[in-house]
Amino acid sequence: MKFFIDTANLADIREAQDMGILDGVTTNPSLMAKEGITGKDNVMRHYKQICEIVEGDVSAEVIGTTFDEMVSEGEELAELDENIVVKIPMTRDGVKALKYFSEKGIRTNCTLIFSAGQALLAAKAGASYVSPFVGRLDDISTDGIELIEQIVTIYRNYGYTTEVLAASIRHPMHVIQCAEIGADVMTGPLSVMTALLNHPLTDIGLAKFLADHKKAGTAK
Ligand code: E4P
């Protein structure tokens, strides 16, 4: 399972990279705004910086909503770095743009996926990734994990190569459930990745090992 970090914060990206478990980055306009990155030049520079830190795929989202806008923005983004994946919203124009990019060999991530039908359309249009938002579905009392399961089944049934990128991952159990189902990728904040480290028995066990080691040392 690939681990992407869902942030535009360079320090968090570096930390996940230093842990040696990072496979890529996803961003969105809200995450860029959260870091105070505004204006086209700054946005482009920021994506370049992210690509310098991580070796894997970096999703960069278009702001335009028409086919023409998505195509011209996406082409510029794709030129920034070979690891840039153009992130396209699930709309009618978005689907057309997915098809366009797929024919041009430019990789895409279709975002804002909330139903299996949307995921099927994105795969048919040649998206490289689909991003179903698990947490946001859970927020409205709908089972986000069930959607991941449906999409994985559908893609397997027909051999679609589009990767299922479980997005809006909010806690470690989301990660485990997605891994059990066979999602190709999960994207979440650094806190979700570090939460996977923790178990109280690990802490207790380590404290005991160290205490026993110290005792044996002083007994000599
Ligand atoms: C997907 O790529 C989005 O950036 C993201 O996962 C949304 O997560 P949120 O619902 O926590 O904002």
Query: Is the CB of 108 within 6 Å of ligand 1?
Result: no
pLDDT along the chain (220 residues), means of 10: 98 97 97 96 97 97 98 98 98 98 98 98 98 98 98 98 98 98 98 97 98 86
pLDDT score recorded for residue 220? 59
Paired with 129 in beta bridges are 109, 163
Angle at 103 between CA 97 and CA 83, to 5 degrees: 80
CA–CA gap between residue 111 and residue 108 (Å, rounded): 9
131 lines ligand 1 (CB under 6 A): yes
Considering only CA atoms, which residue is closest to atom 5 of ligand 1?
A: 168
Pair type for strands 163-166 and 185-188: parallel
| Ligand 1 contact, 168 CB (< 6 A) | yes
CA distance 93 to 71: 10
For 98-112, how does the pLDDT look when each residue is reduced to its tens digit (9 = 90+)? 999 999 999 999 999
* Residue of 25, 26, 94, 98 lying closest to 64 (CA atoms): 94
How confident is the model at residue 218, as a pLDDT?
80
For ligand 1, atom 7, which residue shows the shortest CA distance?
Answer: 168
189, with CB counted inside 10 A (0-12, 13-18, 19+), is: middle
